[in-house]
A and B are shown apart, each in its own frame.
Chain A
Amino acid sequence: MSSNAAWRLEDFVDSLVVELDKTRETLAVKAINKPLSYSVKEVALDVNTFPSYDGERVRFLTAQPGEEGASKLTIQLGSITDQQVRASTKVREGEPTPSIEELGVDDETRKELRRIGVRSVDDLEALEARKVDLKAVSDVDIDYGQLARKIQKARRSRSAPAIDGMSLSTSDGEPCLLVEGRNLSVDPTFPPVAVVDDSLAEVLSSGPGHLSIRIDPRSPLHADSQVVLTLDPYAVVKVNVKA
């Protein structure tokens, strides 16, 4: 017998599910040659364990011969059809939102959010929509302002700006630099800021796919101009433009 090590319930169930998936595949293959076949509809496993709590997680140590006083952990898996899964699964539109781990929050906040069942930004927003006061149910003082900023930052990193091309144009008879790309100006509350060769430049118009920047005729672009675009607090782009 291998040395006994404590395991987490989710890892145990994970393994159990994988093994049962493989069982289903085995039975399906067997059914090709032997028409008489059965499908496993339910599996229940009683495991004698010693649960322990290390302050963060509950782990289970499998009872060994001669050890008394073990608890019985019963895991019951029922089958579910794909149709039922589809019917009972809430479909979220658009890109999946970042998980709490992706936000880069400190360990204490992450643990606390996890403890109250918050695992993704979607979960947080669902609670916010229902006006749940998280402070009332969490032990630590979570900095929600910082959390909101991290969420926005994580979101922005998933839809990072990309510049496809830049060209010189004119607007009302004045030269302007047209920047084209994707996910450029996506925050309607934050007008983009442009700095051309260390001087603030006026952004004439902006949108997710373009930015139009007025170029001062007195200081036109030169052979190696530098344009810095602050699209929002989480997206700053620096490009060198050769006129």
Chain B
Amino acid sequence: MSWRGSAGDRARGPLPLDEAFLSLDELVPLLLPDLPDLVDEEAGVRSRVIGYDVTTPVELDIVVDEQGRVRLGGTPPIYHVDTSTLPVFHSVRLVAVREASSP
């Protein structure tokens, strides 16, 4: 897979994220499950997950520097407490498929 428009380091830079947030390149792999095949030897059945479609609310930290460059940080909802003023929940959806080369 290739995401078009490798913008190089243009969008990078020393933009610090809030420490409670992960950069998206750290967050996205963590949202992908890592399950082995499910094997039922008695039934002689092996099941495997061939894809995921994950939709989850996220909190975002969108940092903008003086040149307008943006850095994105995200985290699943941090607090599970009902408060009078809730954080803003954005949403991310990931569709992942098992690589053909995977065993």
**Residue A27 at the chain B interface, CB threshold 8 Å:** yes
Chain A, interface residues (CB within 8 Å), range: 35 or more
Which residue of B has the minimal Cβ distance to A38?
B96
Does any Cβ of A come within 8 Å of B42's Cβ?
A: no
A158 lies within 8 A of chain B by Cβ: no
Chain B residues within 8 Å of A16, by CB: 24, 72
What is the bound-complex CA distance between A12 and B2, given in angstroms?
18
Contact in complex: B7, A14 (CB < 8 Å): yes
Interface residues of chain B, those whose CB is within 8 Å of chain A, are 1-12, 16-18, 23-26, 28-29, 32, 34, 36, 51-52, 60-64, 68-72, 85-99, 101-103
Interface of A is mostly: mixed
Q: Is the CB of A77 within 8 A of B61?
A: no
Chain B residues with CB below 8 A from A44, complex form: 91-93
Q: Please tell me if the beta carbons of A21 and B102 are within 8 angstroms of each other in the complex.
A: no
List 24 interface pairs A-B (beta carbons < 8 Å), by A numbering.
A1-B61, A2-B61, A2-B63, A7-B64, A8-B68, A11-B68, A11-B69, A12-B62, A14-B10, A15-B11, A17-B6, A19-B11, A23-B29, A30-B29, A36-B34, A36-B98, A38-B97, A44-B93, A45-B90, A48-B89, A62-B60, A63-B88, A66-B85, A80-B2
User: B68: shortest Cβ distance to chain A, in Å?
Assistant: 5
The docked-state distance in angstroms from the alpha carbon of A81 to that of B1 is 6
The A60-81 residues at the B interface (CB cut-off 8 A) are: 62-67, 70, 77, 79-81
Q: Quick check: is A91 within 8 A (CB to CB) of the other chain?
A: no
- Give A69 to B17 CA distance when docked, in angstroms: 26
Which residue among B36, B60, B95, B98 has the maximum number of chain A CB atoms within 10 Å of its CB?
Answer: B95
Whether A40 lies near B88 (C-beta < 8 A) is: no
| Residues of A contacting B17 in the complex (Cβ-Cβ under 8 angstroms) | 2
**Cβ–Cβ < 8 Å partners of A36 in chain B:** 34, 36, 98, 102-103
Chain A, 45-64, contact with B by CB distance < 8 Å: what is the 0/1 string? 11110000000000000111
User: Are A85 and B87 neighbours in the complex by a CB distance under 8 Å?
Assistant: no
**Complexed CA–CA distance, A79 and B5 (Å):** 11
